[in-house]
Each structure stands twice: as C-alpha cells, then as structure tokens.
Chains A and B, each alone.
Chain A
C-alpha cells in the first residue's frame, strides 16, 4: 500500500500547487484588472481611508481639506471646501462616488501621497498610514474674490489672471459657479443643467469667438515675421470686399493710410483683414501655434477639461491646408473659437517680452511633516515673438487703453496695455434668444513697462461691448493684484 500512499501524497501536492497557482493569479497577476472591475468597491473605499492633502491659496487660505469620520478600521475621510463656490473652478472636487475633476484630479497623486511600491512597504513596516501632501496654489484669494464678484456683475463668463514672468495663475474664475460641497447631492442635477452648465469651467472649456482681441495675434505675426514695422501704413477702406462679402469698420468709417498703432487703437477691421491676407494662412496659423493655439494649454488641469483654441469646423480643428477665410480669421471672426485661458496666454506672452510661460495653478507641495517636497519651476512653453516685437506691440496696446476702444481698463497712475473685443453672435442659442448676443472681451497686462499680471476677461450673452462689460473686470482684478504687489 505504501506505493499508493506516496502517490496519493504526490496528488495532494499537485492539488495544493493548484491552490497556490490560483492565489497567485488573483493576488498578483490579475490583480490590476480585478481592481478595475465595476463590482469592486475596494479601491474607492481604500482611497476614502487616505487623508488627502489640503489645497491652499497662496496666502494659506484653505480651499479644500479632508475631514475624518468614524473610528478605527471604519475611519474614512470626506472632502470639504470651506470657500464654497468661489473656488469650484479651478479646484474641482473629489468624492468617492462622484469621482474627481480639475486641480483635485490633476494633482491626485500628490494629494493622496502616492509613493513607490518600495516606499509604501517601508511605511507599512513602520506602521505609517498613507497620508497625502498639501498643495499650495498661486491663487490670490483677493484677486479670485474680485474676479468672481466683478464677473457676476456683468454676467456669465470667465476671468484668468496670470503672472507673465512665471506663468503662475493668480485667479481663475468661471461664472456661473458651483459649490463643490454640493456635488455628492447634486452632481446629476448640475449635469442636467444644460443652459447654465455650472460644471463647465468657462476659463478652460468655454470656446468663444475672440472678436478683436485676436488682432493682437495678427499684429504679432505681422511684426515678428518682418512683414510690417510699426511705421508701415496702408489704407483701410470700408466697406472692403473680401471673399465676395463686404467687410466693414465700426460706423463704416474708411481710413487713409494708417500704421499699426492707429489700427489697433481704433480696432480697424479692414486694416487687419488686409494684413491677414498679406500674411497668408500658413504664417498666421504658424503664429497661432506658437502662442499655443491648436494644442492643449500646458496648465496643470486634466487635459479633458482644457480645450484647444483654433478654427473649428463641426468640432474639428482646421489647419493651414483647410479652406479658411484668412482675412476674417485675422480680425477674430470666421469660425475661431478660443478659451479665456488661451487669450490670457497671448497677453502674458506679449507682456513677458515674447516668452510664453506654462500657466500653472500649483506652487509647491508640502508633506505631512511640513517639508516642501516640490516647488514650481517656471518653464517656457514657447517664444512666439521676439522681445522687440513684444515691445512694439505693447506700445500699440497701450494706445488702446489710453485713447482707443479700451479706456475703461485704465488704472490711474499705471500704464496699461490691452485690447478689447466684441464678437457679435447673432442667433446664439446658448444665449436664449433676445438682444443680448455679444461676446465681450478684454485682454491686457499692467504695468506696461514691467508687467506683473496678464488677464483675459470675457462675458457671454451681453448687450454691451468689450470696453463696457469686460474692461472693468480687467481693471478690478489688475488693481487688486497690483495693490498687493505694492504692499
């Protein structure tokens, strides 16, 4: 019988080896796919057990924090947003069931204290619980507050304020706002709200016609490519026949030969249309690309929540090979659709001597022991224009504010450079009919000689023009930031 007993033991060894094989499969080899199964609540529940780091404004104001509930193994954390709807954009939200968005999503790794496998084993041996890092942002609470309140006086829209030399985002507001604290209860309701779309971050996802603000890009292309100089002058008749359609200046005013300063100060449409025609599709698109158009802005937000700006045709971005009316693109019409963030980047690039810095909301990460573990290292996105072009353009943009279409942006005692825009959007369904169909814009920076802040402000579905609706927002936010700089 002994032979059989040995064989039986061998069989038991095989059976147990099968058990180890299956256990290895579930615990190690197939673990990743199992963690992704919808029926598996564990990954979410475990995330809930991690104390997420806080998100702070530049001055230490708490924008997001985690509060503990329950004790022992049942302890879990829930996200709280003490500032309510003021920072719904761009901070976003993070909840176990509803998921996450915006800054919370982009910086999730740091916020949950994600570490290497080795580090986590060491921590486990030491009995440490995983704990997240705090993120200090560049957001200036005073500027954010002013951005939101002055925006709310004008209507729906967005404001983005960037420090040109570093790309630090000082304020980013989108109206209508939402309160992230309400997300667990109202997410589906907010998603159903297709008229106001409060969850849409208009600063990064609002695709609007830029109107005359785009003339800054056209002017930059003209100067930087050497096609024109600040002295180059040509006539700007109105109306001007372009692509078999007449183009008009404001009040149908015709201009004798004028140079860039006059053309920009008075926002002369037919002057820029001709410049666009001279530049041609290829050069204009090249300069758009240099300013960051046709690409996702390099801001620290999830790429699906940051839209590309450019010439759209039924959701598709058009390139230089596509049939485009370059004259109308040059003056900000055609099928151009841009985000406020993109226009802020245009202003910031001009302000920073032609160097476009990557816009960043975060400034530094701080671990639970108070050590700074990472710090924003300002980096250049591109150099769309050279320093001389930037200087010449700045002079022209100063004229807009001092004596042109953007006088409401003027700040006493400060040289301000900017450009207004008013895109007429007749029949725009999202405005709900009626007369209020303008998209009002202002982009600019101050002080012109040493820019501390570049801002894009836009108001949708308004009866008013850029100088009346958007320029005051620019001024309020710029003043707030410059006052803080001074103190």
Chain B
C-alpha cells in the first residue's frame, strides 16, 4: 500500500493540527507571562517540537501506515503539555526535557525498525524477565545505585542517570503476556474449587508467584511503593484478561495487601508514606509537607485555575519550595493550580483516550500474545497515571512515580515512547489483518 494513501495517517496528520495549536498557544501564554525572565527562544522551541512531530508522522507513514491514528497525536499532546509546564517551571529543565523527547523518538523509531516482527519477544521472554528483574534491583547494586527520598529508584552510570523501573515495567509486561498466552488454558482448565473459591493449579502458578514475590521484593529492596503497586496491578489486570477469573484477582489483591501491610509495618520508609497519607496534618512541616502543599496548590486552582505562569512554586524571592518536586511528582497539582479543574479534567481525559485506544488495539488484535501485550502495556500505562495522580490527590499514598509524558524525567519519556512503539506495532498488524 502506498504510504501517501494511508487513511489512518491522514487522520493522524489532521489530529496533530490541534496539538500544534495548543502547543503554540501554551508557549505563547507562558512567554507572554514571563517574557521578563525567559529568553525569546521559547517560540523557536515550539517550532522545533512541531518539526520533530512531523518527522515522526512521516516515519510512521512509511513504516506503520495502518497503525492507530490517534495514539501518537494524543501522546504528542501530553508531551507538549508537559513541555509547556516544565518550561514554565524552569527553562533549562525544558531544554533537557526536549532533548529526552528527541531521544525517546529515536528509540521509538528504532523499536519500530527492529521489532517489526515483535513475536521474537516471545522467544526471549525469560531473558527479558531476567533483564527486567536485574534492572529493578540495579539501584541497590553498590557503586551505581542511588537513593532518593528513602527509596532506591535511580541508577547512575558515569554521567548517565536513569530510573530502571520505567524500562522494567515493559519487560515485565512482555514476559507476562507471553507466559499467560501459553498457560492461560491450563490456568483456566486446571483450576479447582477449594472451599468455594476457585484456585489456579499450583504447578502453573509458580512463575506468577515469582512475579508477586518480585513486587514484594521491590517493596523491601527498593522501597518503592508506587512502582510496586503499578507492577502488581498490571499483573492482576493481565491475569484477569487472560483467564477471565475474577477470583484470581481477588486472591492476588489479598496477597498484595497482606504483603504491603506487613512491609508497611516493618519498612520505615513505606510505613511513613502510608502514615502521612492517612494523617497529613500530624506533621505539616515535615513528612506531611509535600502532600499538604500539593492539595493546597489544587485548592488555589478552583474551576478555571490561575493561568499559565501564575502559580507559586517557591516562596517568593527564595528557592525554598512551596510545592516540592513540582516538575515531577506534583506536576499534576501545578496543572490544577494553573489550569483549574477543567485543565486537570482535560489531562485525565487524554489519558483515558489513550487507554481507550490501547484497549481498542487489544480488541482488534487476533493472536493471544498481541492481545495480552497490548492490554498489559495499556494497563501499566493507565495505572502509572492513576498511581501518581491518585498520590497527589490523596486517593492513595503519594509515591515517586512520574506522570507519563508530562513529568520531567528522561527515563520516563524514553520508556514510554518504547511502550508506544510496541502498541503501534501491534496496531499496525491488527488493523492490516482486519482490513484484509
């Protein structure tokens, strides 16, 4: 099929137009607000961003002409939004973020180039699972590991620092999709009812228990409640979709809560996070500071927000943070503050639309692995958004997970572009086969 005649890509191009307008308007707004402080390069950044998006679009036109037309514009929208917000916080951070964006797109293109036949992933599933686990534990390895706020989240190799959990979530989903594709039948058929509860056969449960163990290990070793929650929820989602047994989900949830409760009462870092979640006012200047300031920032937003560039991030005239980690953990609170409830709803809706497109891909795909892979990738993405937004709005304990494509952070952007590439690969094949 000729790349020029691809109807899906034409729709994608059309969808990129509002993104371009929004980005230009956003940059212009921030620039107009803070032209005293910011250089007039800001508008150049906007043009640069659009050029990169256009190049990506052309690449997709050539390589994946039938892939879902809305996913990339939606992601571009989030990225543009994130860039404007980060730019508004700090010009130099936005420059980094733009570079990460380009690097993410390079990896996106490479993934599409080398994994056109993504079934090979199935062959290397144990290797991938091992790599994923190794990545997870890397922050605890002496010499390269880094501790941030009591959690072991980062790895530093020379000048290069990254958060391996972001990449390992993809590895885990690939492994689970592949494993469950092969074993879902026996998990369903071999299930027995014990005391009125349907239990999966123990023999095939082993590897799954390993996953449970791994997420518990994460709690203990890297002390990261957020990633642990994200991984385990993705695992349960996949298990449910693969087997259709809701009881498995209930059992898994019970196991997780049991483990989480146990570690919450023994690991001080996890304990503090839960404690602060329940009683933030008990230590408003200390442990409760971040979550309280996050909520106070939202309270200031109201329905329409204060406008771009209007929020207080530091105490005026100082570098003391009023909203700690505004560019990463609490970027959502900043969005609520500046764009109000309406702006926040737009962001949540964008994530929901991405999830909808992702699940649509899973529905269209006709082989088990593709279905499960698309489901898993979409689920882990949506849950990540839920974990951090839920964290800053006090739905769940606040943890240091990034808001995908919006938060400042290289590993997050790059990993999520790889995730997007996989989804588009699955989509391209599914839609082409469906069209035949």
Q: Which of the segments A3-11, A335-343, A344-352 contacts the partner chain?
A: A3-11
Residues A69 and B317 in contact in the complex (CB < 8 Å), given A12-B352, A13-B352? yes
Smallest CB gap from A72: residue in B: B37
Secondary structure dominating the interface of B: helix
CB distance from A107 to the nearest CB of B (A): 24
Interface residues of A (CB under 8 A from B): 1-9, 12-13, 15-16, 18-20, 22-24, 26-28, 30-31, 34-35, 37-42, 45-46, 48-49, 69-76, 121, 124, 127
Task: Report if B240 contacts A (CB, 8 A).
Answer: yes
Would you list which residues of chain B between 234 and 263 have a CB under 8 Å from chain A?
237, 240-242, 244
Given contacts A31-B300, A31-B302, A124-B307, 14 further A-B contacts (CB under 8 A): A2-B363, A5-B375, A15-B386, A16-B382, A20-B344, A23-B345, A23-B389, A26-B295, A26-B299, A27-B344, A28-B302, A28-B341, A124-B304, A124-B306
CB distance from B363 to the nearest CB of A (A): 5
Alpha-carbon distance between A74 and B37 when the two chains are bound, in angstroms: 11
Query: CB distance A5 to B386 under 8 Å?
Result: no
Of the residues A1, A28, A40, contact of B244 by C-beta under 8 Å: A1
- Residues 253-293 of B, flagged 1 when their CB comes within 8 A of A and 0 if not, give 00000000000000000000000000001001100100010
Of the residues A15, A27, A30, A39, contact of B281 by C-beta under 8 Å: A39
In the complex, chain A residues whose CB is within 8 Å of the CB of B315: 41, 45
Of the residues A13, A19, A30, A74, contact of B317 by C-beta under 8 Å: A74
In the complex, chain A residues whose CB is within 8 Å of the CB of B316: 45, 48-49, 70, 73-76
Query: CB distance B292 to A9 under 8 Å?
Result: no
Alpha-carbon distance between A113 and B296 when the two chains are bound, in angstroms: 23
Smallest CB gap from B280: residue in A: A39
Q: Which of the segments B73-81, B130-138, B222-230, B354-362 contacts the partner chain?
A: B354-362
In the complex, chain A residues whose CB is within 8 Å of the CB of B389: 19, 23
CB distance from A73 to the nearest CB of B (A): 7
In the complex, chain A residues whose CB is within 8 Å of the CB of B340: 27
Alpha-carbon distance between A40 and B322 when the two chains are bound, in angstroms: 10
Query: CB distance A45 to B312 under 8 Å?
Result: yes
Task: Report if B34 contacts A (CB, 8 A).
Answer: yes
CB distance from B365 to the nearest CB of A (A): 10
Query: CB distance A18 to B395 under 8 Å?
Result: yes
Task: Report if B351 contacts A (CB, 8 A).
Answer: yes
CB distance from B372 to the nearest CB of A (A): 8
Task: Report if B191 contacts A (CB, 8 A).
Answer: no
In the complex, chain B residues whose CB is within 8 Å of the CB of A6: 359, 363
CB distance from B418 to the nearest CB of A (A): 21
Smallest CB gap from A2: residue in B: B363
Query: CB distance A42 to B36 under 8 Å?
Result: no
CB distance from B401 to the nearest CB of A (A): 14
Residues A46 and B237 in contact in the complex (CB < 8 Å), given A5-B363, A39-B285? no
Alpha-carbon distance between A174 and B384 when the two chains are bound, in angstroms: 64
Report, nearest first, the 9 A-B pairs whose CB atoms are least far apart: A39-B284, A34-B299, A22-B393, A31-B299, A26-B298, A70-B317, A4-B241, A74-B316, A9-B359
CB distance from B388 to the nearest CB of A (A): 10
Task: Report if B368 contacts A (CB, 8 A).
Answer: yes
Query: CB distance A18 to B240 under 8 Å?
Result: no
Alpha-carbon distance between A49 and B395 when the two chains are bound, in angstroms: 32
Alpha-carbon distance between A40 and B33 when the two chains are bound, in angstroms: 25
In the complex, chain B residues whose CB is within 8 Å of the CB of A22: 390, 393-395
Query: CB distance A20 to B379 under 8 Å?
Result: no
Alpha-carbon distance between A49 and B317 when the two chains are bound, in angstroms: 11
Query: CB distance A12 to B240 under 8 Å?
Result: no
In the complex, chain B residues whose CB is within 8 Å of the CB of A15: 382-383, 386, 390
In the complex, chain A residues whose CB is within 8 Å of the CB of B368: 1
